[in-house]
């Protein structure tokens, strides 16, 4: 393997490939693989060499711990109603519900070793960016102290509004940065989804470089289609991952693509590709 990369070592006595220990901690979102029972999936991830699984409910965290993994990004405790993606912090009517969900889950995450909980900006529904940012700042400030006390980061996700999530407000990195800066807490940061921001903005490496201090977590996914990180799509993933690692990133880069081939083979290939 070129560029000084160590080739993976295949153990002949098993099906496990031990990947070289790169500079990025990789994870994988469970939802694209949820036809595989979580316990079985966790064992497969362990064999690949992944240390973590993303986007799990609190009741699922012990399942991955049994396999020797952690949940790298948790959901808040299940809500009583409303769509999770569209009901975000830009709506003041949702603040009490969102704050209660997070404050209930933050101590559970701290006890389970879950470093991050996900949150959403929400759909515009006619709001201006100025109004939406102000409401997000006000709502997230209410959970910042609890997140700091428990040592868990609330990660607000950037999504595209062009293809997948029409009307979503947090569809540009500068908007998310404005909110994070307004909250002013080291425990409220961005979940930078590379798939979504490649669709909305492009210029991924420069954007990550410019706003790196405000990003706590990354998601991957091939553009177009949100499928494998291969030659069917437009990003050079080794270069993107190397640029993240070069900045000393210590969080997780979680794969969130929808496999079109054998799922565990696609995941194994993505992990090897991004092992820089």
**pLDDT computed for residue 21 by the predictor:** 66
Residue 226 vs residues 139, 156, 171, 196: alpha-carbon distances, Å: 31, 20, 17, 9
Q: How far is CA 236 from the centre of its chain?
A: 19
Q: Average model confidence (pLDDT) for the chain?
A: 92
Mind listing the domains of the chain with CATH numbers?
A: 26-273 (3.20.20.150)
Query: What pLDDT is stored for residue 15 in this prediction?
Result: 46
Do residues 94 and 82 lie in contact, with contact meaning Cβ atoms separated by under 8 Å?
A: yes
Residues 79 and 76: their CA atoms lie apart, in Å, by: 8
The b/e string for 113-134 (b: 16+ C-beta within 10 A; e otherwise) is: ebbbbbbbbbbbeebeeeebbb
pLDDT score at 1: 34
**Of 162, 158, 171, which is closest to residue 215 (Cα–Cα)?**
158
Q: What is the CA radius of gyration of the chain?
A: 18
- What is the rounded distance in angstroms from the CA atom of residue 46 to the CA atom of residue 69? 7
Q: For residue 110, which of 53, 61, 60 has the smallest C-alpha distance?
A: 61
pLDDT of residue 82: 64
pLDDT attached to residue 79: 62
Q: Supply the pLDDT for residue 164.
A: 95
Provide the pLDDT for residue 223.
97
Query: Is residue 23 classed as helix, strand or coil in its secondary structure?
Result: coil
Structure tokens at 143: 């959970």
Residue 194 per-residue DSSP state: H
pLDDT (tens digit per residue) in 225-262: 999 999 999 999 999 999 999 999 999 999 999 999 99
Within 13 Å, how many C-alpha atoms sit on residue 261's CB side? 11
pLDDT for 125 equals: 95
User: 196: buried, middle or exposed (CB in 10 Å: 19+, 13-18, 0-12)?
Assistant: buried
pLDDT below 70 — which residues of the chain? 1-21, 79-82
Residues 6+ apart with CB under 8 A from 245: 22, 23, 24, 276
Q: How many residues does the structure list for the chain?
A: 276
User: Where do we find the tokens 């569209």?
Assistant: 86
């Amino acid at each position: 393997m070129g560029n000084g990369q160590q080739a993976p070592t295949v153990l002949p006595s098993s099906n496990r490939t031990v990947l070289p220990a790169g500079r990025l901690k990789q994870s994988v979102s469970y939802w694209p693989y949820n036809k595989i029972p979580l316990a079985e999936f966790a064992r497969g991830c362990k064999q690949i060499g992944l240390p973590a699984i993303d986007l799990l409910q609190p009741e699922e965290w012990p399942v991955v711990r049994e396999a020797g993994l952690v949940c790298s990004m948790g959901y808040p405790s299940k809500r009583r109603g409303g769509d999770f993606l569209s009901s975000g912090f830009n709506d003041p009517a949702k603040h009490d519900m969102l704050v209660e969900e997070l404050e209930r889950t933050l101590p559970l995450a701290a006890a389970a070793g879950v470093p991050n909980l996900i949150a959403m900006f929400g759909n515009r529904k006619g709001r201006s960016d100025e109004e939406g940012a102000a409401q997000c700042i006000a709502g997230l400030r209410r959970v910042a102290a609890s997140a700091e006390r428990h040592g868990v980061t609330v990660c607000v996700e950037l999504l595209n509004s062009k293809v997948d999530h029409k009307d979503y407000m947090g569809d540009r990195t500068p908007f998310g940065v404005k909110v994070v800066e307004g909250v002013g807490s080291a425990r409220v940061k961005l979940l930078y989804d590379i798939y979504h921001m490649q669709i909305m903005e492009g210029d991924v490496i420069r954007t990550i470089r410019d706003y790196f201090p405000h990003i706590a977590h990354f998601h991957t996914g091939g553009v177009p289609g949100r499928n494998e990180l291969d030659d069917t799509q437009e990003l050079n993933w080794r270069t993107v991952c190397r640029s993240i690692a070069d900045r000393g990133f210590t969080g997780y880069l979680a794969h969130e693509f929808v496999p079109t081939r054998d799922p565990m083979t696609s995941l194994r290939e993505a992990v090897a590709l991004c092992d820089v």
